[in-house]
Protein backbone atom coordinates (compact mmCIF):
# COMPACT_ATOMS: atom_id res chain seq x y z
CA UNK A 1 0.00 0.00 0.00
CA UNK A 2 1.15 3.37 -0.85
CA UNK A 3 1.06 6.30 1.51
CA UNK A 4 -0.87 8.43 -0.85
CA UNK A 5 -3.67 5.94 -0.94
CA UNK A 6 -4.18 6.14 2.83
CA UNK A 7 -6.84 8.52 3.83
CA UNK A 8 -5.98 10.90 6.53
CA UNK A 9 -8.56 11.36 9.14
CA UNK A 10 -9.10 14.79 10.42
CA UNK A 11 -10.85 15.19 13.69
CA UNK A 12 -13.42 17.88 13.85
CA UNK A 13 -12.41 20.88 15.85
CA UNK A 14 -14.67 21.78 18.69
CA UNK A 15 -16.76 24.76 17.93
CA UNK A 16 -16.89 27.73 20.20
CA UNK A 17 -20.38 26.69 21.25
CA UNK A 18 -19.06 23.37 22.60
CA UNK A 19 -16.60 25.01 25.01
CA UNK A 20 -17.84 25.51 28.56
CA UNK A 21 -18.81 29.06 29.31
CA UNK A 22 -16.99 31.17 31.87
CA UNK A 23 -19.93 30.84 34.24
CA UNK A 24 -19.84 27.05 33.99
CA UNK A 25 -16.10 27.04 34.66
CA UNK A 26 -16.58 29.30 37.67
CA UNK A 27 -19.30 26.99 39.01
CA UNK A 28 -17.05 23.99 38.55
CA UNK A 29 -14.21 25.78 40.32
CA UNK A 30 -16.44 26.73 43.28
CA UNK A 31 -17.82 23.21 43.46
CA UNK A 32 -14.28 21.80 43.53
CA UNK A 33 -13.31 24.24 46.29
CA UNK A 34 -16.42 23.36 48.27
CA UNK A 35 -15.72 19.64 47.92
CA UNK A 36 -12.13 20.20 49.03
CA UNK A 37 -13.28 22.19 52.06
CA UNK A 38 -15.76 19.43 53.01
CA UNK A 39 -13.01 16.81 52.75
CA UNK A 40 -10.63 18.86 54.91
CA UNK A 41 -13.34 19.54 57.50
CA UNK A 42 -14.29 15.85 57.55
CA UNK A 43 -10.67 14.84 58.07
CA UNK A 44 -10.32 17.35 60.91
CA UNK A 45 -13.49 16.08 62.62
CA UNK A 46 -12.36 12.48 62.26
CA UNK A 47 -8.97 13.34 63.76
CA UNK A 48 -10.59 15.22 66.65
CA UNK A 49 -12.92 12.29 67.32
CA UNK A 50 -10.03 9.84 67.26
CA UNK A 51 -7.94 11.94 69.64
CA UNK A 52 -10.78 12.19 72.17
CA UNK A 53 -11.87 8.54 71.97
CA UNK A 54 -10.00 7.50 75.12
CA UNK A 55 -11.41 10.43 77.09
CA UNK A 56 -14.95 9.58 75.96
CA UNK A 57 -14.44 5.91 76.84
CA UNK A 58 -13.32 6.80 80.36
CA UNK A 59 -16.21 9.21 80.84
CA UNK A 60 -18.67 6.55 79.66
CA UNK A 61 -17.50 3.92 82.13
CA UNK A 62 -19.47 2.85 85.18
CA UNK A 63 -18.21 5.10 88.03
CA UNK A 64 -17.19 2.15 90.21
CA UNK A 65 -15.31 0.42 87.39
CA UNK A 66 -13.68 3.72 86.43
CA UNK A 67 -12.59 4.34 90.05
CA UNK A 68 -11.16 0.82 90.25
CA UNK A 69 -9.26 1.27 86.97
CA UNK A 70 -7.94 4.60 88.20
CA UNK A 71 -6.81 3.10 91.51
CA UNK A 72 -5.05 0.15 89.84
CA UNK A 73 -3.36 2.41 87.29
CA UNK A 74 -2.39 4.88 90.01
CA UNK A 75 -0.90 2.12 92.18
CA UNK A 76 1.11 0.79 89.23
CA UNK A 77 2.26 4.31 88.41
CA UNK A 78 3.36 4.87 92.00
CA UNK A 79 5.27 1.57 92.10
CA UNK A 80 7.15 2.11 88.84
CA UNK A 81 7.43 5.88 88.45
CA UNK A 82 7.63 7.31 91.97
CA UNK A 83 9.57 8.96 93.48
CA UNK A 84 11.44 8.95 90.18
CA UNK A 85 11.00 6.90 87.04
CA UNK A 86 13.18 3.83 86.85
CA UNK A 87 15.91 4.07 84.19
CA UNK A 88 14.52 3.57 80.72
CA UNK A 89 10.89 3.95 81.81
CA UNK A 90 10.54 7.72 81.46
CA UNK A 91 8.43 7.45 78.31
CA UNK A 92 6.15 4.83 79.84
CA UNK A 93 5.72 6.94 82.97
CA UNK A 94 4.78 9.98 80.86
CA UNK A 95 2.16 7.88 79.03
CA UNK A 96 0.72 6.63 82.32
CA UNK A 97 0.65 10.18 83.70
CA UNK A 98 -1.21 11.44 80.62
CA UNK A 99 -3.69 8.57 80.95
CA UNK A 100 -4.31 9.22 84.65
CA UNK A 101 -4.94 12.92 83.97
CA UNK A 102 -8.00 11.94 81.91
CA UNK A 103 -9.82 10.53 84.95
CA UNK A 104 -12.18 12.74 86.93
CA UNK A 105 -10.86 10.93 90.03
CA UNK A 106 -7.51 12.68 89.55
CA UNK A 107 -7.83 15.61 91.97
CA UNK A 108 -5.61 18.69 92.30
CA UNK A 109 -2.91 16.86 94.31
CA UNK A 110 -2.90 14.06 91.72
CA UNK A 111 -2.59 16.57 88.88
CA UNK A 112 0.29 18.37 90.62
CA UNK A 113 2.16 15.11 91.17
CA UNK A 114 1.64 14.01 87.57
CA UNK A 115 2.70 17.43 86.26
CA UNK A 116 5.90 17.12 88.31
CA UNK A 117 6.48 13.67 86.78
CA UNK A 118 6.06 15.03 83.24
CA UNK A 119 8.62 17.76 83.95
CA UNK A 120 11.07 15.37 85.68
CA UNK A 121 11.13 12.75 82.92
CA UNK A 122 11.72 15.05 79.98
In 3-state terms, what secondary structure has residue 2?
A: coil
Question: Structure pTM?
Answer: 0.58
Q: Give the residue among 121, 48, 45 at the shortest CA–CA distance from 82.
A: 121
Mean pLDDT for all residues in the chain: 80
Residues 100 and 118: their CA atoms lie apart, in Å, by 12
Which tens digits make up the pLDDT trace of 68-114?
Answer: 999 999 999 888 887 776 677 778 888 889 999 999 999 898 898 88
Residues 95 and 114: their CA atoms lie apart, in Å, by 11
Amino acid sequence: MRMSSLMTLSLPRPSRDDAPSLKARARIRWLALLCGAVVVLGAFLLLARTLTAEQRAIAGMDPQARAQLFRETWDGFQAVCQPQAKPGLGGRCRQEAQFLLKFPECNAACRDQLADMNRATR
